[in-house]
Structure 1
Amino acid sequence: MQREALGSYISNLQLHISEAAFFTCTSSWYHMDVLSDFNRLYYFLGDGGHVRIGDEELYPKRGQLVVLPAGTMLSLRTLEGRVFSKFFCHFNARAGEQELFQLLDTPSCVDVLDEDATTRRFGEFVHHYHQGTRLTSMLRAKLLLQELLCEFLEQGGGVSLRQTAASGPLDKISQVLAYLDHHLSDDVRLDQLAELVHFHPNYLIRLFKSVTGCSPIQYLNQRRMEKAKQWMLATDISVSEAAERIGSSLYQFSKMFKQHTGVSPSDYRKMMRDQRPPQ
């Protein structure tokens, strides 16, 4: 359920870009003991840089992406006598109060698959960011940043939670998600969920929304409809039995199902089965 909670978090992720540019680092370039409230993404086009992230020392090479997480003590400088170029971006990526790279356990530095393609993508990203007065430019900039972040995560071996995150708020939300999945047919109350994780109900709602984008009861109804869609597609149970399985009346179930899918349960079953390729 932690992975499901993380998936919900990712789906509600909000990106805010505060700066993006191409920059040539001369021997006088440095930032020492910096603590920022934004993340930094660097793409190195040459060698000669030194980066310290907390206690970690890096000497990035050409064709490497580096993420420097928000809230971490950083030092950056050019090695003596060296000059190199890089693209960079300052950004926040969060759902609610949770910053993405404070939750994820990833390497700090990865090699890209195709240097030329990543150079073009970062260049387009910077271009669109600085053309922000055009109607679609910021949308394109955010899309390109998402692609760069996906490349970083994929080349870094995928996504996993930091141990501190797994035992923190996201773990609490995972417990609530698991409880809801096992009580689809029950009349679940907010105070029950809050007691489960020892939170005040109002705090639970705020935290739950920051991760999933909806309230616990809205999430429960969504899961009920997702299950109902699976039953309509993969089984021959009646609509009445599907309604009973989620603890609903036939009328209320049919109404919710149509709001969720745009069609009635019976029509959904027929429509989806008609689309199946012949055996």
Structure 2
Amino acid sequence: MKHTYKTIIQNYFHRFQADVTIAAFSAPKNGQAMEQVSEFYRLWFIIEGEGELMQSGRLYHTKPGQLLLLPPGKQSFNTGSAPNAVYWCNFRASIGDMEIFDLLKLPIIVEPKEQVQLRMLFERLIDVYRSSMITRELRIRAALFDIMAIYLEYGGISEESLQQVEPLEKIDRVLDYIELNLSEQIGVEDLARLAYLHPNYFIGYFKNIVGYAPTQYVNMRRVERAKQLLEKPDCNISEVAQQVGMQNHYLSRMFKQYTGVTPSRYRQIYLSKKQNKS
């Protein structure tokens, strides 16, 4: 996947927040029909039985081993001739003004290989949801995020589908420009011009999609580029600073602000680790 698209998606996942409203295990009877309008996202992991799901006017056939991500809206589900067994949870998830799952155009159904792991994750999610331990919220999110990670790895996030999303196409040009010009002065006006937006509007637009203000993102990319250069023994600190468009003292201050260590200390740690491996 193209670096800029990967950066955008990773930043979305970095900011991803979700609140589980319920987690449970259910066993609908054979021939049972259920219809409801939900304001939540829902995850289903089907253990037993087959059925039919009607979602957004499309019919899906469900079977054991499937993991389903159902968006908010109207759904109807009919079980087959045998009883069903389903692990499930409801959760809210939104990032800024854009729903990540709508943006990525993800499938309703995936069929992961990690069947045993998924069963254990749902059982853990249900257990901690019912618990009163002080770390309950952390453990709920940890289990949910592990389930979501499995779903997303099988969801087929493709570069082709991302290219069709207009906001990403605009920001793609901007991120490409940033990557090619980290050694130069980068102004917000220049970036806004690439997206054909007014600078005042562009700042919020960029932050809504990428997760960071333009200046903050540029600084982060400069620090990441500096890390790569510091890992090369033949590139001194002055050369690193020059290639990321900073003076030595400013690079040192920003690098420590973002990583907690100075550039020279980072290089020392990296080279020490490399020598230990060899």
Category of TM-score, reference length = shorter chain: 0.7 to 0.9
- Return closer, same or farther for 1:271/1:151 CA change in 2, 3 Å cut-off: closer
Greater alpha carbon shift after TM alignment, 212-221 vs 158-167: 158-167
Q: Deviations over 1:74-126 (max 9, x none)?
A: 332334x5532212112233322222321234442233425444223212212
Specify the code of the residue in structure 2 equivalent to 1:96: G
Query: CA-to-partner distance for each residue in 1:27-50, whole Å, 9 max, x for gaps?
Result: 444116x4x443221111221421
2:256 to 249, 255, 258: 258
Q: CA RMSD in A?
A: 2.5
**How many corresponding residue pairs?**
273
Q: How far apart in 1 are the matches of 2:252 and 2:15?
A: 28
On the 8 A contact 2:103/2:165 being kept in 1, the answer is: no
Question: What's the offset of the Cα at 1:162?
Answer: 7.1
Change (3 A) 1:16 1:204: farther
| Residue 20 (str. 1) matches residue 38 (str. 2) | no
Q: Secondary structure at the match of 2:18?
A: strand
Distance verdict in 2 for CA 1:204–1:14, change over 3 Å? farther
In structure 2, C-alpha distance between the alignment counterparts of 1:162 and 1:49, rounded to whole Å: 31
Aligned residue for 1:64? 66
Q: TM-score, normalised by structure 1?
A: 0.85
Letter in 2 for 1:182: L
Of all paired residues, the percent bearing the same amino acid is 32
1:178 partnered with 2:176:
yes
1:107-147 residue CA offsets vs partner (Å, 9 max, x unmatched): 4223342544422321221221233x432112111111111
26, 47, 50: which is aligned to 2:49?
47
Q: Distance in 1 between matches of 2:260 and 2:119?
A: 43
Report the AA paired with residue 74 of structure 1. Q
The one-letter code sitting in structure 2 at the alignment partner of 1:226 is: E
Deviations along 1:182-214, one digit per CA (max 9) or x if unpaired, are 221222222222222123434433333334332
* TM-superposition CA deviations, 1:145-190 (whole Å, max 9, x none): 111122223344x422673774222332322221211221222222
Q: Which runs of 5+ in 1 are unaligned?
A: none
Change (3 A) 1:121 1:164: closer
* Aligned partner of residue 96 in structure 1, secondary structure: coil
Match of 1:142 in 2: 141
1:191-210 mapped onto 2 (5 Å cutoff): 191-210=189-208
